[in-house]
Structure 1
Amino acid sequence: DNAHIVFGDDTLRLHGANNRISYNNHDIFHKANKPRFAEDIEGKPNTLSGYGISNFKVETFRGDLNTLKTDGIYSLPTAVGSSNLPVENTACHIQVIAGTQPGWCRQLGYPAYTSDVYERHQVSSANDDWSAWKKLNSDGIPVGAIVSFPKAVRNPAGYLRADGATFAQNTFPDLYRALGNTNKLPDLSRTDIGITAWFPSDQIPSGWLAFDDIRGRVTESTYPELYRLLVAKYGSIANVPQAEDRFIRNAANGLAVGQTQGDAIRNITGKIDSG
């Protein structure tokens, strides 16, 4: 299934089985027989500089990111030995954009195992100053905002429960800064200890105590915070006033919080005119 044409000592050969055309045993490439980069191109460069791109790098890096001003993509497989990272102590990829202008370089950071993207840039070529890393991707809600979810939603992605717990500063650096450089979350899982509330039913909600059950149920082991609060105020749990058959009023006119006031009906005097 082959055919060849001889021109003197030169031969043009048509290989029908594999769509090849060769001239003196050298392939002629065409649409049906495209060259293979790794096999058919002789003397091919194996670096970008071989193609005339001398100021772009794709390489592993370790060190001070302030020194990265050559356009390229850099891999930092470990945070050890590097500084000025997008997220402290976290491996990442860094993309450098300078465009032949290293005096106003820009960096994009991609921390490992996340979809987060950070940006920073030089703010002065004279002093080599850089802006702080800023997270670019978000869901439109400011970092540190408190959002309500139905009880059925237990662990929504991207959120932490405001239950007074602490978190790793390295994992959530933006939240750390938003909370005023603290890694302690606000506790919104309960109201203030000792608060008194009225309910339109005798069914006491979970987490609450009937006021007159305090003396019998509040101990240092069962309700330690409430116990300490009440003992500090009244000296002992037994001294907490009862509310049964009493009206609760505001503290004023010499009446302090926790003080009981006797009835004044017996002090009313007068006469009844029977005529």
Structure 2
Amino acid sequence: MTYITRFAPSPTGPLHLGHAYSAILAHDMARAAQGRFLLRIEDIDQTRARPEWEAQILDDLTWLGLTWDDTPLRQSDRLPRYADALDRLWDAGLLYPCSCRRRDIAAAASAPQEGAPLHGPDGIIYPGTCRDAPRRGPRPADEALRLDMRKAAQALVTYHELSDVTHPTLSPDEMVTTIGDIVLSRRDFLGSYHLSVVLDDADQEITHVIRGADLAEATPIHVLLQRLLGLPTPRYHHHRLIRDEAGKRLAKRDDARAIATYRAAGDTPADIRRRVGL
């Protein structure tokens, strides 16, 4: 089996040192295994994606000395693929429409009888306000759609047989209580991070997902969706995060840590590798 990794940035801001670490690590691991390294542009959210940021991403990665083995995949080209998967989950009775706004969810989860709001990978765990609303006809195209986690987890008879996954798995009850009914499609754009990343990894035949420890909580969600959609499960490696002097992990708003900033100051690609501990 060919060893295949990927780097999947969103063109919503500059790449920083944390991105550099993740991209270099995935690239070097693939090259060490004589495998393939692929690039994916996660631009499904067209309200925030910008072509100038995509151009900067490609330029920064090339400057770092990274090469990819195929034409970059763009999520904005794959909307029919996401729609088909949503139709399958809808027809299986695993999705329901949700009209709640963020403030509605926060208010419902903070009600006195609920106690302190519980948080999962996507923030406050959804309290299930719309879960029992009637479902009629085909999948609605203009509403947010949530995965009914209890039905989804119970549908997986083999869920405990995930011996090939390099992280702890959760029981169906734990999926319900610690993750809840996640959004798989939004009002303003088709699909979601969880759905698109699972389908993209499968279609690019990714064998090893190299990503930050901040995404480790999302991995059980992705394994669940892989099982529901009949997709292979890659191996997962969650690497350490690059942090600033105060111990805070870097974000795109940290322009002072942007690769372009270090380039302008005279750093070389080797300097970047040293800065991130490679």
TM bucket, shorter chain: under 0.3
Structure with bigger helix share is 2
Q: TM-score, normalised by structure 2?
A: 0.17
Say which one has the larger Rg: 1
Whose relative contact order is higher, 1 or 2, with alpha carbons under 8 Å and at least 6 apart?
2
Please give the TM-score of this superposition, normalised by the length of structure 1: 0.17
